[in-house]
Amino acid sequence: MKSGKENILESSVQYIKSVGPKRAESFSKIGINTIRDLIFYFPSRHLDRTTVLTVSRAYGYAINGYDGEATIVAKVVDKEKRNLGRKEILKVQLRDSTGFIECVWFQGIKYFHSVFNEGDYFAISGKPEINYNKLQIVHPDFDKITEEETQSFLNTGKIIPFYRIPKELKQTNIGDLSLRRIIHFAVESYADKVEETLPKEIIQQHNLLDLISAVKNFHYPENNKLFASARRRFKFEEMFYLELLVAIRKNNYQTKLSGNKMEIRTNLVSDFIKTLPFELTKAQLNVLTEIKNDMLSEKPMNRLLQGDVGSGKTIVALISMLIAVDNGFQAALMAPTEILADQHTKNISAMMKNLYKINPQKEIKVSLLLGGQKKSERTRKLSDIELQEADIIVGTHAIFEDQVKFKNLGLVIIDEQHRFGVKQRAALQSKGKTPDVLVMSATPIPRTLSMTVYGDLDLSLINEMPKNRIPVKTVLRGEKKLPDIYKFIIDKSKEGYQTFLVYPLVEESEKLELKAATTYYDDLKENHLRNLKLGLIHGRMSWQGKEEVMLKFKEKIFDVLVSTTVIEVGIDIPDANIILINDAHRFGLSQLHQLRGRIGRGSKQAYCILITSDEIAAAQNANELELEYLPSVQLEKYKSSVRLQSMVKYLDGFKISEIDLKLRGPGDIFGTKQSGFPELKYTNIVDDQELILEAKQSAFKLIEVDPKLEKNFSVLIRENLIKHYSENLAYAKIA
The minimum distance between CB 596 and ligand ADP, in angstroms, equals 12
Shortest approach of ligand ADP to residue 445 CB, angstroms? 14
User: How far apart are CB 574 and ligand ADP at their closest, in Å?
Assistant: 9
Please give the residues from 451 up to 470 whose contact with ligand ADP meets the rule CB under 6 A. Answer: 466
Contact 75, 95 (CB under 8 A): yes
With respect to ligand ADP, which residue has the nearer C-beta, 410 or 444? 444
- Segment lying near ligand ADP (by CB under 6 A), choices 277-285, 321-329, 426-434, 504-512: 277-285
Q: How far is the CB of 311 from ligand ADP (least distance, A)?
A: 4
Nearer to ligand ADP, 413 or 485 (CB): 413
Identity of the residue, 43 or 307, whose beta carbon is nearer to ligand ADP in the bound complex: 307
Beta strands in 418-466 (DSSP E): 436-441, 458-462
Does 601 interact with ligand ADP (rule: CB under 6 A)?
Answer: yes
Region near ligand ADP per CB under 6 A, out of 13-21, 113-121, 279-287, 707-715: 279-287
Question: Residue 286 Cβ, how far from ligand ADP at the closest point, in Å?
Answer: 12
Asked if 422 contacts 731 with a C-beta cutoff of 8 angstroms, the reply is yes
Q: Is 280 near ligand ADP (CB under 6 A)? A: yes
Contact pick of 281, 306, 474, 728 for ligand ADP (by CB under 6 A): 281
State the nearest-atom distance from the C-beta of 6 to ligand ADP, in Å.
60
Report in angstroms how near the CB of residue 558 gets to ligand ADP at its nearest: 21
Dist. CA 664–CA 671, nearest whole Å: 11
Q: How far apart are CA 143 and CA 304, in angstroms?
A: 48
User: CA separation (Å) from 449 to 176, 452, 675, 685, 735?
Assistant: 36, 5, 11, 7, 28
CB of 394 to ligand ADP, least distance (A): 14
**Rounded Cα gap, residues 93 and 101, in angstroms:** 6
H or E, element range at 219: helix 211-219
The site string for ligand ADP over 153-192 (x = CB under 6 A, - otherwise) reads ----------------------------------------
- In whole angstroms, the minimum distance from the beta carbon of 317 to ligand ADP comes to 8
Instruction: Select 443 or 582, whichever has its Cβ closest to ligand ADP.
Output: 443
Q: What is the dihedral of CA 332, 333, 338, 339, to 10 degrees?
A: -130
**DSSP assignment of 582-617, as one string?**
TTGGGS-HHHHHHHHTTS--SSS--EEEEEE-HHHH
State residue 88 phi and psi, 5-degree precision.
-100, 145
What is the spatial distance between Cα 20 and Cα 39, in angstroms, rounded to a whole number? 17
Output 279 or 384, the one with its CB closest to ligand ADP: 279
Would you say 646 and 674 are in contact if contact means Cβ atoms under 8 Å apart?
no
Residue 624 binds ligand ADP (CB under 6 A): no
How many residues belong to the site for ligand ADP (CB under 6 A)?
16
Residue 641 φ/ψ, nearest 5 degrees = -65, -45
User: CB-wise, 312 or 446, nearer to ligand ADP?
Assistant: 312
From the list 44-52, 75-83, 280-288, 690-698, the region that binds ligand ADP by CB under 6 A is 280-288
Asked if 416 contacts 439 with a C-beta cutoff of 8 angstroms, the reply is yes
Query: Min. distance of Cβ 322 from ligand ADP in angstroms?
Result: 15
250 is a contact residue toward ligand ADP (CB under 6 A):
no
Of 90-98, 276-284, 289-297, 639-647, the window that binds ligand ADP (rule: CB under 6 A) is 276-284
Which CB atom, from 97 or from 603, has the smaller least distance to ligand ADP?
Answer: 603
Report the SS3 class of residue 565.
coil
Shorter beta-carbon distance to ligand ADP: residue 318 or 529: 318
Give 3-state DSSP helix, strand, coil % of the chain, rounded to 5: 50, 20, 35
Closest CB to ligand ADP among 55 and 283? 283
Sheet architecture: strand order including 366-369: 366-369, 392-395, 330-334, 409-416, 436-441, 302-307, 458-462
| Identity of the residue, 118 or 572, whose beta carbon is nearer to ligand ADP in the bound complex | 572
The radius of gyration of the chain from alpha carbons, rounded to an integer in Å, stands at: 31
Asked if 179 and 189 count as a contact pair (C-beta separation under 8 A), the reply is no
Q: Which of residues 90-119 bind ligand ADP (CB under 6 A)?
A: none
Where in 518-577 is the site for ligand ADP (CB under 6 A)?
572
Closest approach, Cβ 310 to ligand ADP, in A, equals 5
Give 94's Cβ-side CA count (13 Å radius): 29
Q: For residues 420 and 447, give the distance between their C-alpha atoms in angstroms, rounded to a whole number.
A: 19
- Mapped to the 3 state alphabet, what secondary structure does 284-328 carry? HHHHHHHHHHHHHCCCCCEEEEEECCCCCHHHHHHHHHHHHHHCC
Instruction: Give the list of residues 6+ apart from residue 21 with CB closer than 8 angstroms, or none.
Output: 14
Q: Return the residues of window 336-375 that contact ligand ADP according to CB under 6 A.
A: none
Burial-class residue 442 by CB neighbours within 10 Å (0-12, 13-18, 19+).
Answer: buried
Question: Using the 8-state DSSP alphabet, how is residue 502 labeled?
Answer: E
Report the alpha-carbon distance of residue 474 to residue 584 in Å, rounded.
12
Among 193, 278, 487, 704, which residue interacts with ligand ADP (rule: CB under 6 A)?
Answer: 278
Binding mask 295-334 for ligand ADP (x = CB under 6 A): ------------x-xxxxxxx-------------------
Q: Residues 6 or more apart from 352 whose CB is under 8 A from it? A: 364, 366, 392
Tell me the per-residue interface mask from 418 to 457 with ligand ADP, x by CB under 6 A, - otherwise: ----------------------------------------
Least distance (Å) between residue 467 CB and ligand ADP: 7
Q: Measured from the CB of residue 331, what is the shortest distance to ligand ADP in angstroms?
A: 16
Residue of minimal Cβ distance to ligand ADP:
312
Mark the segment that binds ligand ADP (CB under 6 A) among 3-11, 139-147, 278-286, 445-453. Answer: 278-286
Q: Which region, judged by CB under 6 A, interacts with ligand ADP, from 27-35, 65-73, 272-280, 727-735?
A: 272-280
Closest separation between CB of residue 354 and ligand ADP, Å?
13
Residues in the chain: 735
Measured from the CB atom, the residue of 443 and 640 that comes closer to ligand ADP is 443
We find the least distance from the C-beta atom of residue 415 to ligand ADP, in angstroms, to be 8
How many CA atoms within 13 Å lie on the side-chain side of 54? 7
- Which residues lie near ligand ADP (CB under 6 A)? 278-281, 284, 307, 309-315, 466, 572, 601
